[in-house]
Chain A
């Protein structure tokens, strides 16, 4: 177990949490148990801490919250070892940008606003998703794309027909079309997206159509190619992720275009 102190490597491969001494393994957790505050509740908190691998554990604070709940703060030692060389980091294929950086990239790379047209297509009246991404109100503490000065946003709202969406995309010179689909009865979301991509293929010359991005809680993000769209976003996507992706995709497209 002394390999974590091995002086021959730059950084230790195996580490433990650090309280005030290397290797002490100290952690602090807080939680609530649905028990009235008494000795038994404190014992229960200790039991939970032990089962979490905290041993010895010390209940440093216990407070009744009403007659049926108790809040605990527990300090103690964990014996788990963190193997740093086995940590796997998920790398997304584009960089997350702040609104400021996204705006700067659009200004520099496009030299004009990035035009985004959004809608819910077919019978879907659930604008929750598209509004969370586009409206300035935003989602999860992030402002929507309307907040981005270099994005020109047209939110067409709900129950937009595919031909109408194509016409609007052409009229606005859309760089990107964002479609949100919540209703999934009889796989309506998949049928609608296939209709959408077919219509855009017909309406635009090859390779010139806007980016097509779809989103909704029931989409599988790996199905993008199969559905003929550029990107699928699933549940919990924030406006910043969408904006960052659009900037990434547009800038790459520009590069490709200027390479030719």
Chain B
């Protein structure tokens, strides 16, 4: 590991230890609870899909019916597999249940054993499909050329999957290594995953299993054409993290936005719901070989990027702790950060370099995601283009891995074809012109960059110390992050939080956690 900022090794160790201390009680809470979305994800792994005539997914109908009749404290699996008749599938059961023709019960004795065995078998099939999709990705990546870092990450967001596909393919041909399909505004607050191929969305396209499948197939074609594996990204944030993660695994998405606290802070989702959901969703991502992207860039768009720089570091350390705990390896933890300092600030570029280097040095094996300026993109597209050039240079100079390409028309229009082309020329110029600059870049130990980096780490340790002391949930309630107050007994999705009883059974969790936990 390089040490360009001359970070004291003791500080780095202490920061990680404090993050673990702050995170451990939350993991205990996450283990003691389930949520309606976790239970739905179990059934999705077992193959349920489709929706009723009103568009309500059968999985929601089934879980709601079980909840109404016997509650979800013991998990959905036992009553469902107990009720399944010989050779009946889950959709048929859901239809019967929706018609009021199923009496759910919690089985005991031998009936319980049978239900557990059948549920485990059915869920295993889903995990096997996720495993085979992972192997398929590994084969494709091995047979095609590996794109050099940073990977170029481009967004499409037409609202119509049929428009998204040619745009995504065009973006890949122009140089994108990663395609992200932005979701329709507000999808994160839907307590269900819409079904089918969709052509109408608001500022984005609905994330559905069918849309995932169509886009992955199209990018497989383009990957073969270009001789380069094009990765596909979507969002596991919101009220349906576990289900989104499951569908992403089943359909071989490659990266997923998945932050441990974003939903709480920026979407007012209940904290317990979020921590339970993110843990299960990350276990699925770990199994699926998916790289997560965390959302620290959001803090910098709400709070001051200099004053709040250390909250990014704190969030990265917490995200890393929760990710490791859920089984993700370092190469899967795409910690986020952003270039958002006011460009009128003296030495703003040095400060950006200090912050970006701090992330690089603290997380040497994480595929860091570097987010472009948005807050100071004013509509002056010419100045914006220059700012994006500096953003690209900072990314090269500090070894960022996933570079979200900045658009000069940020906050003006959704990117035009020409905006994307100009943005890629900007990246390619910097990538070419500054290809070897990182090897020549050694900030002085006493210079602004190194001093600032050490200072931010020290501030992060101070904050982590306080959080470990007062408890992470209290810190979130008190407005420590992004200035938002989010108490643990408030927020969206609280009704879907379930306290597990001693009979709780979840075959997916048992298979994902391995034999250690019983």
What residues of chain A have their CB less than 8 Å away from a CB belonging to chain B?
30-32, 63, 65-66, 69, 71, 126-128, 131-132, 135-137, 140-141, 143, 146-147, 149, 155, 157
Contacts and interface: CB of A to CB of B under 8 A. Distances in A.
Interface in B288-340: 298, 302
A147 B202 CA distance: 23
A146 B490 CA distance: 15
Contact of A127 (B189, B374, B484): B189
A147 B374 contact: no
B174 A128 contact: no
B187 to A, nearest CB: 9
Nearest to B303: A147
B453 to A, nearest CB: 28
B441 interface: no
Interface stretch (B126-134, B156-164, B414-422): B414-422
Contacts of A69: 417
B418 A128 contact: no
A128 B204 CA distance: 12
Contacts of B185: 128, 132
Contacts of A141: 374, 411
B379 to A, nearest CB: 10
A117 to B, nearest CB: 14
A126 B186 contact: yes
B248 to A, nearest CB: 22
Interface residues of B, number: 24
B421 A65 contact: yes
21 contacts: A32-B416, A32-B417, A63-B421, A65-B417, A66-B173, A69-B417, A71-B421, A71-B422, A127-B186, A127-B189, A128-B186, A128-B202, A131-B186, A132-B185, A135-B268, A136-B302, A141-B411, A146-B268, A147-B302, A155-B268, A157-B492
A135 B267 contact: yes
B256 interface: no
B437 interface: no
Interface in B475-518: 482-484, 492
Contacts of A140: 411
B170 interface: yes
A180 to B, nearest CB: 11
A136 B266 contact: yes
A127 B187 CA distance: 10
Interface residue SS majority, chain A: mixed
A136 B416 contact: no
B388 to A, nearest CB: 16
Contacts of B302: 136, 143, 147
Given A127-B189, A137-B266, 20 more contacts: A32-B416, A63-B421, A65-B417, A65-B418, A65-B421, A66-B170, A71-B417, A71-B422, A128-B186, A135-B266, A135-B268, A136-B265, A136-B266, A136-B482, A136-B484, A137-B298, A140-B411, A141-B411, A146-B484, A149-B483
B267 A147 contact: no
A157 B190 CA distance: 11
Nearest to A31: B418
A155 B186 CA distance: 14
Interface string B394-423: 000000000000000001000011100110
Contacts of A31: 418
B411 A30 contact: no
A147 B483 contact: yes
Nearest to A140: B411
A66 B174 contact: yes
Contacts of A135: 266-268
Contacts of A66: 170, 173-174
B189 A131 contact: yes
Contacts of B186: 126-128, 131
A4 B368 CA distance: 58
Interface string B451-494: 00000000000000000000000000000001110000000100
A131 B269 CA distance: 12
A74 to B, nearest CB: 13
B55 to A, nearest CB: 11
